[in-house]
């Protein structure tokens, strides 16, 4: 896949199509993330981000912020993960892009949890849960609920944690 993306990038560079180059960079970063090549992933997302910013592609900017937040979470660099997840949240909210907003809210909640702010973690995770229920996004709903259960468990709220975890498992089982 990376070979084809490199070729596509060369073609778009010859055509001077900046937005397509940025989209290819995002796709390359996705492939490299699966291979745990995080330094290159961050480099490609930043390059794509710069292009999207120059061309005023607000959705592209938001996607890069969201993906950077996710990458930094797995490094783990929770301060950077939170920074980019909050920027993605702001961008998606400003654009009213609900289908991606819940994911950035969940990522911010997870980062807040790792940074020890349980109150904000729950706030963001509950908002993501509400949105995922509203839009019937079962996969994201189940994922967020599992993380919410972990937060409740860490606070000693075992009954609530168990309820969230069982409900998440039920949803996940239904969607395979």
What percent of the chain has pLDDT above 70?
100
CB 175 within 8 A of CB 139: yes
- Mean pLDDT of all residues in the chain? 96
Question: What is the number of other CB atoms lying within 10 angstroms of the CB of residue 157?
Answer: 15
CA distance 165 to 117: 21
Q: Which two tokens stand for residue 109?
A: 């909640």
> What's the rounded Cα separation, in Å, for the pair 66 and 44?
14
**50: which 2 tokens?**
């710069």
Q: What is the pLDDT of residue 98?
A: 85
pLDDT of residue 156: 96
CA distances from 131 to 50, 97, 127, 168 (A): 30, 12, 6, 15
Please report which helix (H) or strand (E) contains residue 162, including its range.
helix 158-175
pLDDT at 99: 81
Answer whether 23's CB lies under 8 Å from 59's CB: no
- The pLDDT value recorded for residue 84 is 98
pLDDT digits (tens, 9 = 90+) for 29-79: 999 999 999 999 999 999 999 999 999 999 999 999 999 999 999 999 999
Q: Distance between CA atoms of 112 and 171, rounded to whole angstroms?
A: 25
Residue with token string 């480099």: 43
pLDDT, mean of each 10-residue run, the chain (176 residues): 94 96 97 96 98 97 97 96 98 92 96 97 97 94 96 97 97 94
Torsions phi, psi for 84 (to 5 deg): -75, -35
- Per DSSP, the three-state class of 35 is coil
């Amino acid at each position: 896949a990376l070979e084809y993306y490199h070729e596509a990038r060369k073609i778009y560079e010859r055509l001077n199509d900046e937005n397509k180059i940025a989209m290819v960079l995002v796709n390359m970063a996705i492939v490299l993330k699966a291979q745990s090549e995080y330094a290159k992933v961050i480099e490609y997302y930043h390059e794509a981000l710069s292009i999207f910013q120059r061309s005023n592609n607000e959705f592209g900017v938001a996607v890069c912020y969201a993906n950077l937040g996710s990458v930094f979470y797995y490094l783990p660099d929770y301060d950077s993960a939170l920074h980019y997840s909050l920027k993605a949240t702001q961008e998606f909210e400003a654009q009213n892009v609900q289908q991606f907003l819940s994911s950035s809210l969940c990522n911010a909640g997870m980062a807040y949890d790792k940074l020890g702010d349980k109150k904000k973690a729950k706030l963001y995770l509950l908002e993501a849960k509400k949105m995922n229920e509203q839009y019937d996004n079962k996969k994201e709903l189940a994922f967020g609920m599992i993380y919410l259960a972990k937060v409740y468990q860490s606070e000693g709220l075992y009954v609530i944690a168990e309820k969230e975890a069982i409900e998440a498992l039920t949803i996940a089982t239904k969607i395979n």
